[in-house]
Amino acid sequence: MRISGGQARGIPLAVPKGDAVRPATDGMRQAAFSSLGAYVAGARFLDLFAGSGAYGLEALSRGAAGGVFVEKNAKAAACVRQNLAAVCKSLGRSPAGLEVLQADALTVPLDGGAVPDLVFIDPPYEIIPEVAPGLFARLMPVLAPKPDALVVFELPGEIELAPAGWTMLKRLGKGVRQPTVAFFRATRVSP
């Protein structure tokens, strides 16, 4: 598994041994970031269920200003730190403005610090139907100051998400038991 684009393209990413994480495939990340395009440059991100940190690190490689990685598993969080150091070294930048929190994405406080422009969510597929509504409800007030903020949610093709107060702008990928990425934005309410 490697960074698929940007200045750190080709940097290998460490992944914890065992089944603690299911890393986002290079192809799926590449498709997602191709769709995001110039939106990533200068953006702040929040990477929930970070795993190896692939989504946030890909954003960093493609010009994101900084962000926060949230990963509950200690081995995976250690891999995020290792990967972050490698990507920062490749980019010739300090890790200032980047943070790795070993915490539960379902309960970590989301209202501290800078409001993200991008939120990456890549939870274990089996818990998505249970946790997605709560995650979107928690993100609504956090992202309110940035109405153009995007939530990039990886999920298998057989799961449909229609969170209250959110609009799905696009979905990449298809097929049952195949990874897909859905892009959401909070629905704007007319005054």
Q: How far apart are CA 46 and CA 48, in angstroms?
A: 6
What are the DSSP E strand ranges found in the chain? 44-48, 66-70, 98-101, 118-121, 150-156, 166-172, 179-186
Asked if 55 contacts 46 with a C-beta cutoff of 8 angstroms, the reply is: no
pTM over 0.85: yes
Could you tell me what percent of the chain has a pLDDT over 70?
A: 94
Question: Per mean pLDDT, which range of 10-24, 46-60, 123-137, 155-169 is the poorest?
Answer: 10-24
Q: How far apart are CA 59 and CA 66, in angstroms?
A: 9
- The pLDDT assigned to 49 comes to 95
- The pLDDT assigned to 114 comes to 84
Asked if 157 contacts 177 with a C-beta cutoff of 8 angstroms, the reply is: yes
Judged against a pLDDT cut of 90, whether residue 119 lies above it is answered with yes
Which residue shows structure tokens 């229609």?
A: 162
pLDDT class of 178 with cuts at 50, 70, 90: confident
| Residue of 190, 191, 129, 132 lying closest to 164 (CA atoms) | 132
Domains of the chain, by residue range, sit at: 1-14+24-34+41-117+141-153
| Residue of 150, 176, 177 lying closest to 44 (CA atoms) | 150
Q: How far apart are CA 10 and CA 17, in angstroms?
A: 21
Question: Which H or E element spans position 28?
Answer: helix 26-36
Q: How far apart are CA 59 and CA 47, in angstroms?
A: 10
The CATH homologous superfamily to which domain 1-14+24-34+41-117+141-153 belongs is: Vaccinia Virus protein VP39 (3.40.50.150)
- Angle, helices 26-36 vs 54-61, to 10°: value is 50
Q: How far apart are CA 136 and CA 24, in angstroms?
A: 20
